[in-house]
Structure formats: C-alpha cells, structure tokens
Amino acid sequence: MAGSILGNRVLRKEDPKFLTTGGVYVDDLNNEPLLVGALHATFVRSTVAHANILSIDISEALESPGVVAVYTAEDLGLEPVAATFNPTAKRTLLATGKVRYVGEPVAVVLTQLANQGEDAAEKVIIDYDMLDVLVDIEQAMTSTTLIYEECGSNVVFDSTALGMPDNTGDAMFADCEVVVKGRFVNQRVAPCPLEVRGSAAAWDKDGRLIQWLSTQHAQGARDAIQKSNGIELDQLRVITPDVGGGFGAKIGAYPEEMLLGVIAKKAGKPVRWTETRSESMTALGHGRAQIQYVTIGGTKAGKVTAYQMHVLQDSGAWVDIGAILAPFMTRPMASGVYDIPKIEIRTTSVATNTTPVVAYRGAGRPEATAAVERAMDMFAAEIGKDPAEVRRMNLIPKFLEPHSTAIGQTYDVGDYEESLNRVLAASDYTKLRAEQAARRASGSVKQLGIGVSVYVEITAGNSPGESAKIEITQDGRAVVYTGTSPHGQGHVTSWAMIASDTTGIPMDKIDVVWGDTDLVPKGGGTMGSRSLQQGGVAVHVAAGELVEQARKHAARLLEANEEDVIFDKAAAAFHVAGTPAVAKSWADLSIALAQDGGLVQETDYVSQGATFPFGAHVSVVEVDTETGQVKMLRHVACDDAGKVLNPLLLEGQIHGGIAQGAAQALLEEVRYDTDGNPITSNLADYAFISAAELPSFEVIHMETPTPRNPLGAKGIGESGTIGSTPAVQSAVVDALAHLGVRHIDMPTTPQRVWEEIRKHTAKGNS
Amino acid sequence: MIPAQFDLKRASSAAEAIALIGEYGDEAKLLAGGHSLIPLMKLRLAQPAMLIDIGRISDLSYIKDAGDHIAIGALTRHMDVEKSSIVLQHVPLLAHATSHVGDAQVRHRGTIGGSLAHADSASDLPATTLALGATYVVQGPHGQREIAATDFYKGFLESALAPDEMLVEIRVPKTTGGWSFQKFNRRAQDWAIVGVAAWRNGNASGVALVNMGSTPILATSVSAALASGASIAEASELAAAEAEPQSDSNASSEYRTHLAKVLVRRALEESTR
C-alpha cells in the first residue's frame, strides 16, 4: 500500500517513558488515593512439599513488630474450590488440611511496613505431619500416595479420557525398515519475569473492589477475583499498570491475587502485596515439564512413515493450565512440519509435589517441536543421512490452501522448505559441515556442532476473536481501547500504527488504553501470540468502520451525498469531491457529535481461525571436548509470521524468543531435591541466561501472509522459542555425533556433555 | 529476600570498628562492600543482629608499591585493584582475576578485604592471593598481626580471624614470569564451578584452586612436581591431590576433579608460554 506506515520500522512510542521516568508497576502506585494507609501482605508459605497440617500457631507472629493481623483459611472463611480442568480436585486458596508443595500459601500476615512481613511470617508456627513426597512424574503415576485423594489417582488429566485414541504400541511400526526410540526430558523451567507478581486491593466508599494487578489478562483475572470475593461483576474493577513481563505465567489469577480483596475487606484497610524473587521462583507457575517417550519409524532411504509419542506432563501440585497444554497444544502439533502418514499421541498429566505448571512462552508447542526435531535427528543419524536432508525429504510441500495432518490439525498456509532453504543458505550450511569435518579430522578440542530445526506452531488457537473501540476526542486525537494487554510487546506502537494507517491521524495523536476493566470490559488479554492477529485486526476493522461512520456524518455536515464525500487520509479530513478547501477534520466531526454520544466506533472482530507461523533455525555451537563447555557461536533464524506490521517489534520478539529458547537448551532447569525442596529458587542458582552467553542473532525475513485475517498477520511472540530450543540442543548433540552421541537431555550442562563424551570415548579424556 | 531485622553502626576508623565488634561480640558482623554478606542476609542464611559498617573508613582504601610486595588496603574496591597500574605491572594475575569477580556493579562496590575475610572457597580472590603467596595483616584490640594466606583459610566461610579482629591490609609479593587465571562457569557472572590461579617462573610456581573444597586449595603437589622436572601434563594430573571437591547442583566431585586437571594444565601452559 503506497504511503502506508504498515511494515515500517517505527520506533516504540512506549520507550521514552520506560527509558526516562520508568514504568509505573503495581509496586510504584504511591500516589493512588485509594491506597493511602494500605497494609502490606506477606504470605506464609509451606516450607515442606507434602504434609498434613496439624496446627497453625499465629500467636508469636501477632507480637512481631508492625503486625496488624494474621489470617488463615479459617479466619477468612475459605471454602474448597474445584480446579477448572479437573473439578474433582479441590483446594482452598490458603492451604487447609494439607500442603502440597513448597511455596504454597498457608496464611497471610498484614504489617504496617512492607519489610516487617517476612520477619513476622517466620514466626507463624505450622506443625506438619510429613507425607511421602512425589517429585518424579513417573513415580507419581504409580504411587499409592495421592496428592489429591479425592481424585483417586495422581493422573489428573489424560487424553484418552477425553476420547482421544490411545497409542497402539510397537505394532504401528511393523512395516518400518528403521525404528528409533527416545526418551526426552523437556525440563521444568521458571518464567522469571523481571517484575515479580504484585497486586493492590482497596474497597472504595461505594463498596466496590478496585484491584491493581500485574497480569496479562485483566478481564480473565476479574472473573476469577469476582468469584473468590463473592461479588457481582459491576462491584469490581481490575486495573493493569505497567507489567514487567509475563511469558504466560501471568495469564491466570493466582490464589494470592484472588484473596487480596477478601483480606482487605477483613482488615478494613487497603492491602498491597509484592512477592520477593525467592517467593516468585516457587509460587509463580512453572513451564514445560514433560517426559516424552517417542518412537519414529520409516524407510532406510529417509522417509518417515510413523510417529508415536506418549507425553507425561508434570502438572505440579494443582490442575492448572499446564495440565491441559499437552493434549490441546502438544498433541495436535506433534508431527509439526512433516508429512507423516501415521501418528499417535497420548498425553498423561500427573500431579506432583512441585509448583503448579502453567503456560510458558510456547506453552505445549515448543515441547512438540523439541520432540519431533530430536526424533528426526536420531532417525537421520540411524540411517546415516544429513539431518537437513532428511527433514527436506519429509516436509509437507508448500500449500496455500488449508492442509490437514494425520493427527487432525488443519494448518492455514505453509512453505517450510523455503524457510529451511533460507537458513541453510544464510548459515552457509555446506561450509559449516566442511569446517566440522575438518575439526573432527584434526581431533580439535573445540568441536563444531550444527543444529537444524524446522517448525510450525499454532497461534491464537481457541481464541474466538477480540474487540476494539476507537473514540475521537474533540481535539482530534484517537483513543484506542483494546482487549489485549501489552507487557513488553509494543501494542501502543502497533495499534497506533494500525489506527493511523486507516484514519490518517498521526501516531503521536493516538493513545492506547488497555487492562482496565471499567474502560475495557471485554478482552482476551495477551497470550498465545494472538494479539496482532486478533486485537490488532480488531483495531484495523474498527478504524475502517470509523471512517465509514465519519463519512456519513461529514456528508450530513457538508450537505452532500455520502458517495460524493472523499476521505483524504493525508489531510485526515473529509471533503466533497472537487472542493478540498471545505473539509471536516476528525476534530470537527467529534465536536459536531458531542451531543450525540461523540464519535466512537466499537467492533467485535470474530476470528476466522488459528494461524500457523513456521520457520527454520540453524544453530552453531562449539563444544570443548575436555570440559564439556558449550559456546553458542551463531544462531540463524527464519521465522515466517505472515505479513509484518513492524520489523523492529518482530525482531525484538524473535531475539527474546531465541534467547529464552537457547536458555532452556543450555542452562535453565528448575530442580528439586528428593524431599521436594526447590534448589533453584534464586537467580544465582537458577541459570537464567544473560547476553554474555549469547551470540548476535542472524534474523532472516520471510512473509507468507495468512488468509485468515485482513492484515495477513500470524503470531510471532513464541516462534523464536519454539524454533531455537531444538536447534541449539541438536547442535550440542551434533558436535559429538562422530563419537556416537545421539541425544543429550536439556539443559545440556557441561557436566552432562562431559559425561556423554566420556561414555563414548574409549580411553576417556582426562 | 528481605533480611531479618538488624541494627547498624558506622565506624569511622579501624580502631572504632574493632571496639564495636568487641562490644557486640557474636551478634555483630562487619559490613564492607556488602556483596557477600547482604545476599546471605537476604536469603536469611545470615541473621546478624548488628552490622558494623566499615565501608567509609577511607584510610583503608589504597594500593602501594612496598618494594618487594604490593600493599592493598582491605577496603579497596575490586574495580580499583583491577585498574591499578601498580597491580597491573607487578601482580597482573591479581588484576586479571579481580576482573572476573561478579560483574562491573559488584566490582564497584565489593572490596578485596571483604571478599577474603568472607573466606568463600568459591570466590576468585582467596585462591588467587593464596597462589601468589600473599600475607594478610589483621588488626585486633591489641594491635596488628600478619597471617600468611596459607594459614588463613580454616573451613567453609571460616578464617583465622579472631572474632574481634578485622582484615586491614593484603600484601602480595611481586611476581615475574607467566601467569594464568582459568575460570570455568556456566554464565559470565556465576561463581566458578572450578577456577585456577597460577603463576610460573622457571622451577618456581604457585597454583591454587577455586571451589575445590571447603577452603581455597593450594595445589602444592603440582608445584612440587614442576620443581622436580615433571612435565605440565604430568604435574596437572596431581591438580586435585590436595583438594576435597564437593558435589553440588552444578558439578559432581568427580567432574570437578576432572576439570581441575584440565584447567591446571591449561593454566600452566599459558603461564609457560
């Protein structure tokens, strides 16, 4: 489109604030009148993983400096609530009867000052009767110790119970010339948003609960908070200040957040709460946490004909969204970009005495991709062929009409081979293989590893659409109300670009409002890479409808026929054809309509279905064969997210995604000891990646627009994570392939790598 | 993440600080740059009732050329050691090892004396000063005494400092010849899984290990082997002879032992170049 701002590298409107005065997060709400005199909540958390609660003694804590009150579930009258995804499982929002993981909230302490809380919380004495602890998924599956007795099993969700077919076992591979099996651990990781969870709750003079919350989805949180407070929807307003990252873990409302209003009501004062990093590492949900039993089979020539997987999903100590990602996200995407005629996937979600598992960047799809990509590599190694070549042989050919896979998922558009071609060319794959061969021949201590992944993922799945409202103010500004909820993505910039592109109103005269349920009562939040293709499209549609509405008003004011009125986008004004001097600006129209409700357009955009971004990554690592140290040298990524709105924001998402994916492949893992004690509950012990461990990324563009929305856009928020993780992991394995190494579980720590080297070298390396 | 409640007193001289520790005894801890103690307090692994802030005692921040050695005031910040022309000229190993401590922010706040007195075997400087044959000057109510680095480290976070003493100066002999500092970690800012500080000048050498036991380890067998003509490969096989490496979430004892051998070999190769 000539003259369109869309597709340009527009700098973020948000950044001047963030780079100068800084964001205003929940904990920064110091000038909020409703929070004057607020008490500070500190949650008393279980220090044991599985135990019956015999007694809770709060008497000493009540004497601690600054303590105003200490409440248990009993004090707050909490009743058991059922898990959304398995209503048999019930818990109270503060533990009663038993605790199920270290970090579970048991009581709450209210203090005058924030820093008095932890001292007081330590003085709440909980007498526990210890129970057997289940940390390992496979042990939990068969154990007679039950985490939720009422469920009768620790298996809390199984794909077969949903009517999805069970796997048929090895019989499926009877006609395969080559069959390879693997057991892959897609380890538990911590989302680690830089802003930890926080909230503040106040009851106003009209008896309405106003709650500020660091969330990805204010409207969803509102519904949960409404229930926990036992109030009507109109008695509640949830407000989202700036949010310092979520990565999926801030989609749902947590017990602390659902209780804050209840606590404030009981205390008769507003209450503020910000968790510490150590708390966040155990009480904010975790991600991934799957064990995958994979079998892949095909011909010696390299055609894969059958793929089977049983996913064991660690649900943690609750049946949260993490329990259903395996059947609804991993399973349908399991065969990825490959044309595999026979595929069977079963998923089994299991409760353990660990932090509940929630959505985390990619949420089920990175796990699917990691499994099939590792399987492809192992299959290629088994038949002695190049992993890129075997992939090429099995890719679904380019399609521009919907394509259905054997598992029953229908993709929109795809050209997987082209994305593979582009990364192979950009990385100079042939030359990399030659250098690898030379290093192997010379016996160099620094071996080169090249990892290839090709992926397709699903974005905006199970999301019906999004609404948008655009209001023109009397000074000609546009205010865009969106149901999405930016927390780093740049929607203020993106939605202003989209609105400006259609209305001609300059970007600096466009404001974006989100996350306040009074101002935006409807909304699906930001998750699942849905925002641009639904929220952005809703703004686009609303802007178009706004222009048409305005044209009618302009015609009336100009005393002309509607079809004679021209919208001059460059001038952001309407005039009758041939007389541009007599024009009505947006401000003119808004003023004229002031008595009639103003100039407002509201649109409910109904989704035409999920979209399927795809791409290919090549990662190059160097492995020190004496120490097992892995160093990333290069990472080349081609991510096709359809039509690109703003390449700058796109690259930001890809860069962050690659970093997070590489972090899982190389470094990060939430670990527990056998008693269920977390041993990675701070950022010294949990190996959160930093820039120093990463190379400069090479991003290759490719655009295959989706026909499923008028912007042609698919999601990009999670793609980088999905493509990078297996590429990096496979690169590490590939560096040692000549020794016979076929797989190393993530994270590929130096010790793990060294152990594999030692296992595969006759005389060892020391 | 929020320390237990504590009181704080600020000392304006070493004598005042020592008097205050005498007064408060076991309840008190000296606070210098705060980059070892405060993290422990935030994790509530340390809960001193009284902190004696020595960070503003300005006459303990200096680097002097003292003839055969360099004298460094205990409250000298890491960044000042790292950038000091005196240290760079006469004990380049120390300057280089210091540049590996934490990150730039840590090095602007943390002090050499604080790091050594904290006696963490996973820290870079205890092993480095041990390899260099440093002597620590400590001051108590009855004056000063010298403790050789080899006699200073007694156990995990335990030193030869008496409860009423503080470290005031570090004396590091000038070195000539080659040197190397090898730090093996997973992330740039992490503590070493294993580290090696080494120097070599002909038959003479000093090799010390980071995080290979409850104290920094002087690898005397390696130096002895080199002195009696062993090859670097032979000597580095003895790298862990004095060590008692622990297993933790980053590395098993066996892996640490292996790493020590590889890293000592690499350090000696670099020192001999």
Which of these ranges, A214-223, A387-396, A757-766, has the smallest mean pLDDT? A757-766
Rounded (5°) CA angle A365-A370-A376: 125
User: CA of B138 to nearest chain A CA: how many angstroms apart?
Assistant: 31
Query: How much is the average pLDDT of A256-273?
Result: 98
Domain B7-53, CATH number (from 3.40.50.300, 3.40.50.2000, 3.30.43.10, 3.40.190.290): 3.30.43.10
DSSP state of B45: S
A690 to B188: CB separation less than 8 angstroms, yes or no: yes
Q: Can you tell me the distance from the alpha carbon of A247 to that of A489, in angstroms, rounded to the nearest whole number? A: 11
Name the nearest CA neighbour of A608 among A711, A470, A702.
Answer: A711
What class is the B58-173 domain? alpha beta
Given a cut of 60, is residue A462 above it in pLDDT? yes
| Contacts with B190 from chain A: Cβ below 8 Å | 684, 687
A346 pLDDT more than 60 = yes
Interface subset of A 592-651, CB within 8 angstroms of B: 626-627, 629
Band of residue A766 on the pLDDT scale cut at 50, 70, 90: very low
Mean pLDDT of chain B: 96
- Domain-wise residue ranges, chain B: 7-53, 58-173, 178-272
> Token pair for residue A187?
């380890």
Residues of B in contact with A278 (CB under 8 A): 1, 43
A492-504: average pLDDT: 98
DSSP per-residue codes, A537-598: HHHHHHHHHHHHHHHHHHHHHHTS-GGGEEEETTTTEEEETT-TTSEEEHHHHHHHTGGGT-
pLDDT of residue A765: 44
DSSP state letter for A234? G
Q: Which has more confidence, B43 or A673? A: A673
Q: Helix A750-760 and helix B253-272: axis angle, to 10°?
A: 90
Residue for token pair 């928020």: A717
Facing A277 at nearest CB: one of B1, B251, B259: B1
Is A446 an 8 Å CB contact of chain B?
Answer: no
Query: Sorting pLDDT into bands at 50, 70 and 90, what band is A676?
Result: very high
User: For an interface test with A, which of B42, B248, B255 has the most A Cβ atoms less than 10 Å from its Cβ?
Assistant: B255
The yes-or-no verdict on residue A163 having pLDDT over 60 is yes
Instruction: Give percent of chain A with pLDDT exceeding 90.
Output: 98
pLDDT digits (tens, 9 = 90+) for A73-126: 999 999 999 999 999 999 999 999 999 999 999 999 999 999 999 999 999 999
Distance from CA of B151 to the nearest CA of A (A): 30
pTM to 2 decimal places: 0.97
Q: Which domains does chain A have, with CATH numbers?
A: 17-131+197-274 (3.90.1170.50), 287-459+610-760 (3.30.365.10), 461-606 (3.30.365.10)
Per-residue pLDDT of B191-244, as tens digits, reads 999 999 999 999 999 999 999 999 999 999 999 999 999 999 999 999 999 999
Which neighbouring-strand residues pair with A180? A296
- What are the angstrom distances between the C-alpha of A338 and each of A308, A334, A373, A404, A520? 13, 9, 10, 11, 41
Cβ contact, residue pair B186, A749, below 8 Å: yes
| pLDDT tens per residue, range A705-757 | 999 999 999 999 999 999 999 999 999 999 999 999 999 999 999 999 999 99
pLDDT for A1 equals 42
CA distance A231 to A248: 27
Judged against a pLDDT cut of 80, whether residue A764 lies above it is answered with: no
Across the interface, whether the CB atoms of B262 and A689 are under 8 A apart is answered no
pLDDT of residue A763 exceeding 70, the answer is no
Three-state SS at A477: coil
Supply the mean pLDDT for chain A.
97
In this complex, do A629 and B184 lie within 8 Å of one another by their Cβ atoms?
yes
What is the per-residue pLDDT for B2?
86
Are A693 and A667 a contacting pair, CB within 8 Å? yes
Of A671, A688, A751, nearest to B255 by CB-CB distance is A751
The answer to whether residue A164 scores a pLDDT higher than 80 is yes
- Look at residue A3 in the predicted model and tell me its pLDDT: 74
Between strands A39-45 and A86-91, the pairing is unpaired
Mean pLDDT across B30-39: 93
Q: Which of A764, A744, A759 is nearest to A630 (CA)?
A: A744
Query: Is B186 in contact with A627 (Cβ distance < 8 A)?
Result: no
Q: Give A750's contacts in chain B (Cβ within 8 Å).
A: 184, 186, 193, 251, 255
Residue pair B130/B218 in contact (Cβ under 8 Å)? The answer is yes
User: Cβ A276–B39 below 8 Å, yes or no?
Assistant: no
Give the right CATH number for B178-272 from 1.20.140.10, 3.40.50.620, 3.30.390.50, 1.20.1260.10: 3.30.390.50
Question: Which residues of chain A have a CB within 8 Å of the CB of B184?
Answer: 627, 629, 750
Question: Using one digit for the tens of pLDDT, what is the confidence trace for B128-156?
Answer: 999 999 999 999 999 999 999 999 999 99
Residue range A664-684: mean pLDDT, rounded: 96
Please compute the mean of the pLDDT values over residues A614-630 and round it to a whole number: 98
The answer to whether the CB atoms of B186 and A115 lie below 8 A apart is no
Cα A184 from Cα A377, distance rounded (Å):
13
Chain B positions touching A114 (Cβ under 8 A) are 2
* Per-residue confidence band for A327, with pLDDT thresholds at 50, 70 and 90: very high
What distance in Å separates the CA atoms of residue A228 and residue A214, rounded to the nearest whole number? 18
Residues of A in contact with B261 (CB under 8 A): 766
In this prediction, residues A274-285 reach a mean pLDDT of 96
> Span A665-693, mean pLDDT?
96
- Distance, in angstroms, between A752 CA and closest chain B CA? 9
**Per-residue pLDDT tens over the stretch B151-196:** 999 999 999 999 999 999 999 999 999 999 999 999 998 999 999 9
Residue B18 has pLDDT above 70, yes or no: yes
At A318 the pLDDT is 97
Strands B69-73 and B166-173: antiparallel
The predicted structure's pLDDT at residue A762: 66
